[in-house]
Amino acid sequence: MSDSTDTGPVLAADGSPLKQSLARALRREKMRALALIAPLLFFVVLTFIIPILSMLFRSVENQIVSDTMPGTVAAIQDWDTGGGEAPDELVFQHLFIDLFNASEAKEHTKLGTRLNYEQTGLSSLFRTSGRRLDDIGETFQDPLEEIDPAFEEADFWYSMMNGEGGEGLLEERRDMWNAQVGGGMDGDVGFVPSQSMIDLLPWTTTAYTDWAIWAAIEDEDVVAEEEPWEAVYGALGIDLRNPETVAAIADYDGPGAEQLQAAVANMDQLPQTSFREAFAEMDEDWLDPEVWDTIAVYSPRFTSGYFLTAVDMKLSAEGVTAQPEDRQLYIKLFNRTLFMSLVITGSCILLGYPVAWLLANLPLRTANVLMILVLLPFWTSLLVRTSAWKVLLQQQGVINEILVWLGFVDDANRLILMNNQTGTIIAMTHILLPFMILPLYSVMKTIDPSYLRAAKSLGATNIVAFWRVYFPQSVPGIGAGSILVFILSIGYYITPEIVGGTDGVFISNRIAYHISSSLNWGLAAALGSILLVVVLVLYWLYDRIVGIDNVKLGG
Amino acid sequence: MSALTVNVGRPPLLTFTMPIVAVLGACFGFVTGNIFGQPGLGFVIGAVIGAVLAGVLAQIVQVRLWRKVWGTTAIFAVSGLVFGGVGGLIGGAVMGLSMGWFATWIGSGQYRAGVPIYYTAGQTLWHNVFLFICAFVFFFLIAPLIPVMWLSFNAQNFFTFTPEMLAFRAEGYSLKHYRDFFSGGGHPLQGLLYGAVIGAVIGGLVQLLPNAERSIRKIVVFAIIGTLIGVVVGKMWGVSGAEWMTPLKNSLIIAPFATLISVSLGTLAAIGLSQTHVPGRQAIMAIMISPMIVPLIISATGMFFFYAPLGNWLQANLGLNQNFVGYLKVILAHAALGVPFVIITVTATLVGFDQSLTRAAANMGANPVTTFFRVQMPLILPGVISGGLFAFITSFDEVVVVLFVGSAQQQTLPWQMFTGLREQISPTILAAATILVTISICLLTTVELLRRRSERLRGMSPG
């Protein structure tokens, strides 16, 4: 002993200090444990945690508006939201280009559907307008081609637009397409806009670049051999209305100068109506300031709109307001979900407590046999039990038939037990009862029966002994069972869907409806996120009360 | 407890037994009278019959207790048959059974058998009422499953009982819904022979492994398992477009693979988690348990958003078949849902695992892999298997996630039942339900046996 203190630190067998050696062994053990855990952790994170996070992301994500209409969204920032006036010409010019591209890519209907969640009617507005944008382009194309047939030729356009120095614009517009159609627009376009044209005819060059990328990559055509689409003529019309551009064209002497100057000289042949009027002619809703309020409010890349809808609020030009009375339904649904879950939890406690007590106090052999009666429904398919309740509860079902046969219920006034809250509560109490009995049983099993006897021998009556001695010890079991049942029931979908009708459905049925029928995925994600927060809080409570390690299955 | 209970004598007949049985008789009489529109008359007659029954049964001393009950049941059933046909027979039998049992139970003083001798009348009453409440809850748990099984033999395409069924006539019953369920697919016998032979061969090959325990029993067990698998595979071979067999086939493809993934990864992780020093054990545990805690609808929504682009990506970039990707998505999703069950059961088994056994094995020169397979695995195997069964049943019974993640090609059995219940109501669903109940009884038995075996192996309980 004294030897080692004299000669310095204690050494391990290999000569290194013991402390270091122990630390190394500990580290190795930790690494081994982590190496065993790592594959599953990776698996669960990939297949479960990331999907949940992607749901949270979906609930605020709103990129479709700015991806589909980048120019319009940028231009609308200067517009006075809620001012009661539709925006000015510039916004409509951008709208023309953006919506034209979107309708070529068939994305405008998606945008319309998205905005329709916020204001009814926008879906048809976008759909019909998308079809008729070609006409606006043609009102420019036809006179231009009459002024000079060269405007019809692919060569003419290509030689005028192609050049060098415009790589920045090309990549910028490629990104626009990628954002719009979700990628896949990479590759050689065979065209680079020339810098001089960008300076001279900014709108036209941009529109031509859009077309060139689409034609080369999506349609797999050669840019130099195809006539551009109508939007390019429309864009030229926009450019020609700018006096500065007109002045610059007079000094221009590059390819196509002659034709451009001819177009300037015959300006009176081009349509004189503004784009604002052209859009209004297509559908006068375009001049409705409310439409533009909606677009402006939902133009940011992330929005709280879905969450606000999920709590019956609305994001509008005036800020956050309550939904109109007839569209308020989510708060009611959340309240109903919570209320019914509480009722189900309560009835599970009422039915489960006596049974758990009986099981915990019977001799082990008898308890094991009776336990099978609890475990059999637990192991039986959820759908089997749900269909059983459908058989029992329907109007011509077993319960009604027996009551009618016994003469307690008139044949004409059979009880309505299904497709309402009663049905959901009865069926779900039955389905979730084992989840209450099992934790209660495992807690009651640990309560020493001699406490009760001691209380009684000290003069307590049965009721006092139960209430003051036994019950407090069984509270952790009630807590564990209640939280388990409550968590399970607020997320239930199948049973309410089948026996709940319209009155007995939960928030989860609404989520499923938005996922599969109305396709309002953002709202579904927001509703799911709210539910998730509620569940996580309860989960945290459960962990505090029972500890997550103490979850037991099947006794 | 038993030292305090004494077999008390018979209670007084006239002041106790007869009135109480008369009350029960009156209740039955009221209900029966109500059928004929005479509840008041039935009430009186029932009370008289009850009192008389109690008096008569008390006089018959030398007959054994249960004989009295069966005798009463028979008499009531026959008189029910005379008055009300087959319905009356059943009603009479039920009434006779309950009244006969009740009269003898009260009359012989058995009702005090379960309580200490010092209990007052009120306490005894409460004790018995409590037992009746518990019996009612057990009835509530089990009874709903019975009409389902009964109705699945309906000869009509109804979801309700037909008069023929209630009159127990043969034409009211048929197996046609079972035939509908099993229509389509190959013949199970084709697979039987192959399965048995392959199983026996594998069983034989296992004998050749170094250090394996050699016995003929193993070959037989493998052959039996092979036969079972062979029958199922033979039945499922070449199934396509069948209304019920295709979903069953999908379920049988998805569930085993999902179970395999969650069991293999879950067991390793549970062993890792049970080590003494695990950094961040709480957080890791919370992540791994989360698929069980997060409501299915939320998991399904999240998976819907993530798996659809994942599937497209896999198809586009790895050139995988669309059908294969469809199955893969559902299998991965189900495997994630099954993980918590494996973790919980295996961790619970490892709590009782004596770590010195692994050290002893290492001491005797076994490397970690050998130690795992020869020492640790046999001991935790019951926990692994029951965790696997939980994972299997989770996947086999799961609807919401398949509904959101899968496409029509991956329609599983619960999905088919769900759409069936929601849209067209056919009693074939009930046939499927009955088959599933049978399967779950088998699984429950297996899990219970395994749990007891595990406790015995770990010396946690004597029995």
pLDDT digits (tens, 9 = 90+) for B352-400: 778 888 889 989 988 888 888 888 888 888 788 888 988 998 898 899 9
Q: In B294-321, which residue ranges form alpha helices assigned H by DSSP? A: 296-318
Residues of A in contact with B151 (CB under 8 A): 391
How close does chain A come to B58, measured CA to CA in Å? 30
Q: Which of B161, B145, B149, B168 is nearest to B431 (CA)?
A: B149
Estimate the crossing angle of helix B281-293 against helix B322-351, to 10 degrees: 120
Mean per-residue pLDDT of chain B = 84
Estimate the crossing angle of helix A382-393 against helix A421-444, to 10 degrees: 130
| CATH number of domain containing A414 | 1.10.3720.10
Could you tell me if residue B227 is inside a domain? yes
C-alpha count within 13 angstroms, C-beta hemisphere, residue A57: 11
Q: Do B265 and B413 fall into the same domain?
A: yes
Residues of B in contact with A370 (CB under 8 A): 138
Angle (CA) A190 A195 A201, round 5°: 100
Q: Give tens-digit pLDDT for B183-219.
A: 877 777 777 777 788 888 887 787 776 666 667 777 7
Going by pLDDT thresholds of 50, 70 and 90, the confidence category of residue B460 is low
Which tokens go with B94? Answer: 């039920």
Q: Which of B197, B195, B315, B333 is nearest to B257 (CA)?
A: B333
Q: Do B405 and B339 fall into the same domain?
A: yes
Instruction: Tell me if B418 and A508 make a contact (CB, 8 A cut-off).
Output: no
Could you tell me if residue A229 is inside a domain? yes
pLDDT at residue B463 tops 50: no
Could you tell me if residue A209 is inside a domain? yes
Which tokens go with B398? Answer: 């799961």
Q: Do A179 and A274 fall into the same domain?
A: yes
Angle (CA) B234 B235 B238, round 5°: 85
Which tokens go with B148? Answer: 């389902």
Could you tell me if residue B57 is inside a domain? yes
Instruction: Tell me if A48 and B133 make a contact (CB, 8 A cut-off).
Output: no
Q: Do A473 and A521 fall into the same domain?
A: yes
Bridge partners (DSSP) of residue B172 are none
Which tokens go with B239? Answer: 């199934």
Q: Are A340 and A506 in contact (CB under 8 A)?
A: yes
What average pLDDT does the segment B154-171 reach?
79
Which tokens go with A410? Answer: 């008139």
**Domain, as residue range, for B154:** 145-174
Could you tell me if residue A63 is inside a domain? no
C-alpha count within 13 angstroms, C-beta hemisphere, residue A234: 26
Place of tokens 């029932």: B46
How close does chain A come to B454, measured CA to CA in Å? 13
C-alpha count within 13 angstroms, C-beta hemisphere, residue B404: 30
Residues of A in contact with B440 (CB under 8 A): 376, 379-381
Which tokens go with B236? Answer: 């499922």
Q: Do A76 and A26 fall into the same domain?
A: no
Q: Is B123 exposed, middle or buried (0-12, 13-18, 19+ CB in 10 A)?
A: middle
Q: Which of A185, A190, A192 is nearest to A217 (CA)?
A: A185
User: How many domains in chain A?
Assistant: 3
Estimate the crossing angle of helix A364-379 against helix B428-457, to 10 degrees: 140
Instruction: Tell me if A44 and B288 make a contact (CB, 8 A cut-off).
Output: yes
C-alpha count within 13 angstroms, C-beta hemisphere, residue A368: 10
Q: Do B218 and B351 fall into the same domain?
A: no
Distance from C-alpha of A272 to C-alpha of A378, rounded to nearest angstrom: 76
Q: Do A349 and A434 fall into the same domain?
A: yes
Could you tell me if residue B56 is inside a domain? yes
Give the pLDDT score at B462.
40
Query: Which amino acid is present at B436?
Result: L
**Nearest-by-Cβ selection for A383 from B131, B304, B414:** B414
How close does chain B come to A488, measured CA to CA in Å? 6
Residues of B in contact with A494 (CB under 8 A): 399-400, 418
Q: Which of B347, B145, B288, B345 is nearest to A377 (CA)?
A: B145
Distance from C-alpha of A481 to C-alpha of A32, rounded to nearest angstrom: 36
Q: Do B248 and B386 fall into the same domain?
A: yes
Q: Do A34 and A76 fall into the same domain?
A: no
In chain B, the residue whose alpha carbon lies closest to the alpha carbon of A488 is B295
Q: Which of A94, A76, A93 is nearest to A85 (CA)?
A: A76
Distance from C-alpha of A8 to C-alpha of B156, rounded to nearest angstrom: 92
Could you tell me if residue B385 is inside a domain? yes
Phi, psi angles (nearest 5°) of residue A122: -70, -30
Instruction: Tell me if B444 and A32 make a contact (CB, 8 A cut-off).
Output: no
Residues of B in contact with A552 (CB under 8 A): 344, 348
Q: What is the 3-state secondary structure (H, E, C) of A264-288?
A: HHCHHHCCCCCHHHHHHHHCHHHHC
Helix (H) or strand (E) holding A441: helix A421-444
Give the pLDDT score at A546.
66
**Nearest-by-Cβ selection for B35 from A405, A493, A525:** A405
Angle (CA) A196 A201 A202, round 5°: 95
ipTM of the complex: 0.84
Displacement of CA A218 from its chain's centroid (Å): 29
User: How many domains in chain B?
Assistant: 4
Place of tokens 């509530």: B140
What average pLDDT does the segment B110-137 reach?
85
In chain B, the residue whose alpha carbon lies closest to the alpha carbon of A35 is B272
Residue A322 DSSP one-character state = E
A219: number of Cβ within 10 Å: 10
Q: Do A429 and A519 fall into the same domain?
A: yes
Could you tell me if residue B126 is inside a domain? no
Q: Are B206 and B222 in contact (CB under 8 A)?
A: yes
Residues of B in contact with A417 (CB under 8 A): none
Could you tell me if residue A317 is inside a domain? no
| Longest Cα–Cα distance in chain B | 89
Distance from C-alpha of B48 to C-alpha of B42, rounded to nearest angstrom: 10
Q: What percent of chain B has pLDDT over 90?
A: 17
Q: Do A272 and A124 fall into the same domain?
A: yes
Bridge partners (DSSP) of residue A193 are A162
Q: Do B250 and B378 fall into the same domain?
A: yes
Q: Do B152 and B211 fall into the same domain?
A: no
What does B331-389 look like in DSSP terms, one character per residue? HHHHHHHHHHHHHHHHHHHHHT--THHHHHHHHTT--HHHHIIIIIHHHHHHHHHHHHH
B294 touches chain A (CB under 8 A): yes
Window 326-365 of B, Cβ < 8 Å to A: 332-333, 335-336, 339, 341, 343-345, 347-348
Could you tell me if residue B180 is inside a domain? no
Residues of A in contact with B358 (CB under 8 A): none
Q: Do B162 and B192 fall into the same domain?
A: no
Give the pLDDT score at A4.
46
Residue that terminates a domain, selected from B201, B221, B237: B237
Residues of B in contact with A401 (CB under 8 A): 160-161
Q: Do A230 and A290 fall into the same domain?
A: yes
Distance from C-alpha of A534 to C-alpha of B3, rounded to nearest angstrom: 51
Q: Which of B183, B182, B185 is nearest to B239 (CA)?
A: B185
Q: Do B169 and B283 fall into the same domain?
A: no
Task: Give the E-state strand segments of A303-428 in sequence order.
Answer: 313-316, 319-322
Place of tokens 């709208």: A95
Q: Do B271 and B419 fall into the same domain?
A: yes
Residues of A in contact with B391 (CB under 8 A): none
Angle (CA) A522 A523 A528, round 5°: 100
Could you tell me if residue B131 is inside a domain? no
**Domain, as residue range, for A279:** 70-303
Instruction: Tell me if B293 and A462 make a contact (CB, 8 A cut-off).
Output: no
Q: Do B43 and B160 fall into the same domain?
A: no
| CATH number of domain containing B385 | 1.10.3720.10
Q: Are A236 and A224 in contact (CB under 8 A)?
A: no
**Nearest-by-Cβ selection for B137 from A29, A354, A539:** A354
Displacement of CA B314 from its chain's centroid (Å): 39
Region for residue A415 given its phi and psi (left: phi exceeds 0; alpha: psi -120 to 50; beta: otherwise) = beta
Give the pLDDT score at B3.
45
Going by pLDDT thresholds of 50, 70 and 90, the confidence category of residue B331 is very high
Place of tokens 């001819």: A262
| Alpha-carbon dihedral A88, A90, A92, A96, rounded to 10 degrees | 170
C-alpha count within 13 angstroms, C-beta hemisphere, residue A331: 11
Which tokens go with B59? Answer: 């006089």
Distance from C-alpha of A542 to C-alpha of A367, rounded to nearest angstrom: 27
**Nearest-by-Cβ selection for A548 from B289, B295, B336:** B289
Q: Which residues contact A284 (CB under 8 A, 6 or more apart)?
A: none
How close does chain A come to B59, measured CA to CA in Å? 33
Q: Do B334 and B453 fall into the same domain?
A: yes
Could you tell me if residue B140 is inside a domain? no
Q: Do A214 and A112 fall into the same domain?
A: yes
C-alpha count within 13 angstroms, C-beta hemisphere, residue A450: 0
Give the pLDDT score at A183.
78
Instruction: Tell me if B138 and A370 make a contact (CB, 8 A cut-off).
Output: yes
What average pLDDT does the segment B80-106 reach?
84
Displacement of CA A158 from its chain's centroid (Å): 44
Q: In B143-239, which residue ranges form alpha helices assigned H by DSSP? A: 145-151, 163-166, 176-182, 188-207, 216-236
Could you tell me if residue A355 is inside a domain? yes
Give the pLDDT score at A297.
85
Could you tell me if residue A356 is inside a domain? yes
Q: Do A7 and A125 fall into the same domain?
A: no
DSSP percent split of chain A into helix, strand, coil, nearest 5: 70, 5, 25
Q: Do B260 and B398 fall into the same domain?
A: yes
Q: Which of B330, B178, B325, B309 is nearest to B257 (CA)?
A: B330
Q: Do A358 and A504 fall into the same domain?
A: yes
pLDDT at residue B410 tops 70: yes
Could you tell me if residue A320 is inside a domain? no
Distance from C-alpha of A270 to C-alpha of A227, rounded to nearest angstrom: 20
Averaged over successive runs of 10 residues, the pLDDT of chain A (555 residues) comes to 57 81 88 91 94 92 88 84 80 89 87 87 87 84 85 85 85 88 82 86 89 87 84 87 85 83 84 84 85 86 88 82 84 92 95 93 87 87 89 86 83 85 92 90 87 89 89 86 88 89 88 89 92 88 68 47
Could you tell me if residue A312 is inside a domain? no
Q: Do A342 and A419 fall into the same domain?
A: yes
What does A51-118 look like in DSSP terms, one character per residue? HHHHHHHHTTB-HHHHHH-HHHHHHHTTS-TTSSS---HHHHHHHHHHHHHHHHTT-HHHHHHHHHTT
